[in-house]
Amino acid sequence: MNEKETQFYEGKAKKLFTVKGHPDEVIQEFKDDATAFNAQKRGSWAHKGEVNCAMSTALFQMLERSGIRTHFVEQLSAVDMLVKRLEIVPLEVIVRNIAAGSFSKRYGVPEGKEFKHPTFEFSYKDDALGDPLINDSHALAMELATEDEIDHIRHTALKINDILKAFFRERGIILVDFKLEFGRHKGEILLGDEISPDTCRFWDAQTRKKLDKDRFRQDLGGVEEAYAEMLKRVTEPVA
Ligand code: TMP
């Protein structure tokens, strides 16, 4: 039995608990709450936690089958996931295939521009600073990660992009961009956190309809339905 012991962290979308008798593992509970724009905008909708837990489970399992090492151990309930305890590298790892969001805003590139080569960037995970963009040399100088770790994270994130892009293409979804987090566990770097419509941008390949958290960020409506649709695409067998 994996029992929740003590809540030791509450973030914007998840709570973390220690596990009785298993110091190397953690239970992450997915909440229905959402924030955007560094928590200036807040909301909540039904089944968000369940969708993000189920979708992350399916994607972590798929990535593991493709040779990516993740923190995933087991889905315990609709909203609870048993994972390996990580020492999180405080970098948000962002890969983009199409311009959108902060990339479009920062560089004046219209949303929807397809890149011939995916982009790779880090943000420094610090809410008080608003998660600023950071480069490798800054991350090294600040001792957030070693050179080897940065190389490994970049290589792994781009490999994950190839795997996810193909996976979603088969399901009629364009993977626009996504954010990953990595952490250290017993001397190894593992993929952590979640992979969900909170942390990725997904567009329907035919209609280009947004099926992710941008519906909440931009007040487009139909958020709950979009999340449900994404879970369906991920979990239903491909025709
Ligand atoms: P951005 O265009 O706002 O920089 O977002 C890039 C991707 O990262 C997008 O798929 C949403 C995701 N993301 C998070 O998961 N957490 C965050 O705090 C932010 C800002 C973006």
Q: Say which DSSP state 237 is in.
A: P
Q: Residues near 97 by Cβ (< 8 Å), separated by ≥ 6?
A: 114, 115, 118, 161, 165, 174, 175, 176, 177
Using the atom order of ligand 1, give the atom closest to the CA of residue 212. 10
* Per-residue pLDDT band at 1 (split at 50, 70, 90): confident
Q: Which of 94, 121, 127 to mutate to test the pocket of ligand 1 (most atoms within 8 A of CB)?
A: 94
| pLDDT value of residue 2 | 87
0.95 exceeded by pTM? yes
**CA distances to 39, 52, 83, 153 from 17, in Å:** 22, 18, 10, 26
* Per-residue pLDDT band at 100 (split at 50, 70, 90): very high
80: which 2 tokens? 């609870």
133: which 2 tokens? 């963009």
Hey, what domains does the chain have and what are their CATH numbers? 4-84 (3.30.200.20), 87-222 (3.30.470.20)
In one-letter notation, the amino acid at residue 3 is E
Residues near ligand 1 (Cβ within 6 A):
94, 100-103, 131, 177-179, 199-201
